[in-house]
Amino acid sequence: MVWRSEHKAAFVTHMLENETVLQTFRDSVCNQEHQSCYKHFLNLITLAADATGMTTRQMSRRMQLGLPMAPWYDATRRDYKKRIRWNKKHNQQPTFC
């Protein structure tokens, strides 16, 4: 997330207008559900940042150096890499079938 002062009003407005997530956040605060509270608050921030253009993707080192994409690295390899990262994040064994 990249904070942009010129977008702060829209950011706050978007957070306050997202009534569904805001209400679930308030409910979790009232019920003292700390993990759920954190999850919903993070969701509010992320959705508002996405909606107001305050998110950025880090440019890969290859792109920073201006190097071309390896010819063997195609959609299949990208899918494998994506699945490996997901499995690692969720403590799952990788499956490639």
Per-residue pLDDT of the chain (97 residues; tens, 9 = 90+): 788 889 999 999 999 999 999 999 999 999 999 899 999 999 999 899 988 988 866 777 777 788 887 888 788 888 888 888 888 888 877 665 5
Q: What CA–CA distance (Å, rounded) separates 70 from 56?
A: 24
Radius of gyration of the chain measured on its C-alpha atoms: 19
Q: Are 2 and 55 in contact (CB under 8 A)?
A: yes
Give, in order, the Cα–Cα distances in Å from 36 to each of 18, 32, 70, 88, 89. 17, 9, 42, 23, 19
pTM for the whole thing?
Answer: 0.55
